[in-house]
Amino acid sequence: MIPISEILTASHINLMLTSGTQEEGIDEVLSKLNGDPRVLDWAALKQAVHERNAPAISCGACGICIAHARTTAVQSLVMAVGRSAEGLTSSNIVEPVRLLFVAGIPAAFHFEYLRVVGAIARLCNDPAVFNRLLTVQDPEKFVEFLSSAETRLS
């Protein structure tokens, strides 16, 4: 089992997204993965993420989106996160999307893919965790908090 702390780095976190829509936000967050050595083919990763419709889901008064793709464009799991103070508009929920996760998962990592996406969804469903993710001010602290919350899930 690969912990989120080994997948997500502070350099892949944008705590001040400037995008207005979910689609624009996905591109803004994806850009953090461009140049990561685990990404074998940047264009193919971007295409794979966009081909898979990533609906936003409601988490109280806000929404989250977990855009992801299983693809041969990555050699190991990669993740980036973006947060929007204003919230991104989404075509499938009324609430503003405040947290946007993007993950690239190697095709062979079927169980890790399900575990990571499931863990993020469960963590964001906890109001205390979700609110902390919305307020933490430092990317390193964001990773630390998310990792410690993931450990408590086990």
Mean pLDDT by 10 residues, the chain (154 residues): 88 97 96 96 96 83 90 94 95 93 87 81 90 95 94 82
The pLDDT value given to residue 73: 96
Segment 7-10 long-range contacts (CB within 8 Å, at least 24 positions apart): 7/77, 7/78, 7/79, 7/103, 7/116, 8/79, 8/80, 8/81, 8/143, 8/146, 9/143, 10/138, 10/139, 10/140, 10/142, 10/143
The pLDDT value given to residue 3: 86
pTM comes to 0.93
The pLDDT value given to residue 54: 83
The pLDDT value given to residue 149: 92
Q: What total number of domains does the chain contain? A: 1
The pLDDT value given to residue 26: 96
CATH number of the CATH domain containing 56? 3.40.930.10
User: Domain span at residue 121?
Assistant: 4-153
The pLDDT value given to residue 1: 72
